[in-house]
Amino acid sequence: MGPMLIHLSKWRIIAAGIIGNVIEYYDFALIGFLAVIMGQLFFPSTDPFLSLLGSFGAFAAGMVMRPIGAIFFGHIGDKIGRKHALIGSLVMMALPTFLIGFLPTYAEIGIMAPIILVGLRMIQGFSVGGEYASSIVYLVEESPQGHANLYGSFVSLGAKLGMAIGAGFCGILLGYLGEDIMLEWGWRIPFWSSMALALIGVYLRRHLTDNYIAPKTKEIPILKILKHHRREFWLFLALASAIWMLYYTLFVYMPVWLEFYAGLDKATSSYINTYSIVLGVIFIPIMAIIADRVGSLRLMRISAIATAASIIPIFLLMTTQDMYAILPAISIMTLLLCAFQAPIFAATVSAISTHNYRASFTAVILGSAAGIVGGSTPALMTAVTKISGEPLSPAFLIAVFAIIGWWAADRILSLRTK
């Protein structure tokens, strides 16, 4: 059977594995795209900066719950089975997104509006922490030999598809309805529409094959990991944190940055955001195939040092406010992210040899990196840029984290070759 036929024969496994991430990042695209609108409706202030910060704060609140959800669903995945974690996290993730579409605004119920919004985001973040890692572990474990990076990267592919659908749908609605109607009631439509994706997800996951057999032991995987694999834990956490800072800057914060500091209007910055996501969909699997050939950690080391060296010139190009400079800059930034991110999934799953620790290890590493570092990135970038008055502030932060990521990948590689 040829490589393409092998992958086609596993289409249901791939589709079931990525659908949760399509839903998850569809929602993140809405939060990023609608950040200014949501800020005005739920965190009203005479200062637009404070409204935006409130909106990104709600985003961060949900993301901070990810490590807690990661521990919970990672434990279920290791102790009961991958399928149970996948179905439970999907249902728990889809409902809050749908319900956000029905929320009354600050003008209607006052302070309770942002409190309920943050509460729903926290439930969502809790379930996402389990969803992300459960699907990664499931896809890597079910992958054909020699294709672990490719199958692990399908999770990110699903994420970018979700972001493309979310950002594209919001862009079309904004163009069709206009800013006034979008602010009045149009913003609710994308949240309601998420239920269609959720129903597809439940259908795909009901009939999953799960080859994992949970061992009959009373040990708690995460405690064993922190006791026996502490060095791997902190190195992978540092590496993943560098990746997710770049990820959330590019896909969540960048449309706002382009609007404020590159002189673009909302529609143009959203089109550029959609373009970068589509480019990511194309290059994530390509970079994963390269990682399967050259090795996950080697590719991450190269991309980390390339990111550190080029991120400040990339931001400088974008401050020229020239589209002929902005598009190539965004393209290079997206390619660097794809090369950095594509190998992290399979590398994390295979970081330790103990099979019944995998879901917990992957969940806590990626849940913490995406949740704490990634989730706080848009608010952090907004605050640092405002306080310093320096549009290049995000680039300096990314460069520092990329150097830390390179160091962590180098240390992991040296541990393996000893």
13-17, 42-46, 155-159: which range is least confident on average? 42-46
User: With 60 as the cut, is the pLDDT of residue 88 above it?
Assistant: yes
Task: Kindly indicate the confidence band of residue 1, based on its pLDDT and cuts at 50, 70 and 90.
Answer: very low
Task: Kindly indicate the confidence band of residue 210, based on its pLDDT and cuts at 50, 70 and 90.
Answer: low
Predicted confidence at residue 407, as pLDDT, reads 96
What percentage of the chain exceeds 90 in pLDDT?
A: 22
Instruction: With beta carbons less than 8 A apart as the criterion, state whether 213 and 122 touch.
Output: no
Predicted confidence at residue 354, as pLDDT, reads 67
**Higher pLDDT among residues 230 and 302, named by residue:** 302
Task: Kindly indicate the confidence band of residue 8, based on its pLDDT and cuts at 50, 70 and 90.
Answer: low
Residue 166 CA to residue 31 CA, distance in Å, equals 9
Q: What is the mean pLDDT of the chain?
A: 84
CB contact set of 143 (below 8 Å; sequence gap of 6+): 150, 151, 152, 346
Residue 382 CA to residue 150 CA, distance in Å, equals 34
**Higher pLDDT among residues 357 and 348, named by residue:** 348
Question: Model's pTM, two decimal places?
Answer: 0.79
Task: Kindly indicate the confidence band of residue 343, based on its pLDDT and cuts at 50, 70 and 90.
Answer: very high
**Higher pLDDT among residues 232 and 337, named by residue:** 337
**DSSP reduced 3-state for 16:** helix
CB contact set of 362 (below 8 Å; sequence gap of 6+): 74, 133, 136, 137, 348, 349
9-18, 95-104, 177-186, 380-389: which range is least confident on average? 9-18
Predicted confidence at residue 302, as pLDDT, reads 95
Residue-range domains of the chain with CATH: 3-207+220-417 (1.20.1250.20)
Q: Please, what's the b/e burial string for 340-374 (b: 16 or more CB within 10 A of its CB; e: otherwise)?
A: bbbbbbbbbbbbbeeebbbbbbbbbbbbbbbbbbb
pLDDT digits (tens, 9 = 90+) for 300-342: 999 999 999 999 999 999 988 888 889 999 999 999 999 999 9
1-15, 174-188, 229-243, 344-358: which range is least confident on average? 1-15
User: With 70 as the cut, is the pLDDT of residue 4 above it?
Assistant: no
DSSP per residue over 117-168, as a string? HHHHHHHHHHHHHHHHHHHHHHHHHTSPTT-HHHHHHHHHHHHHHHHHHHHH
User: With 60 as the cut, is the pLDDT of residue 231 above it?
Assistant: yes
Predicted confidence at residue 9, as pLDDT, reads 57
Tell me the mean pLDDT in the region 260-270: 83
User: With 50 as the cut, is the pLDDT of residue 188 above it?
Assistant: yes
User: With 70 as the cut, is the pLDDT of residue 110 above it?
Assistant: yes
Predicted confidence at residue 211, as pLDDT, reads 67
Residue 104 CA to residue 185 CA, distance in Å, equals 11
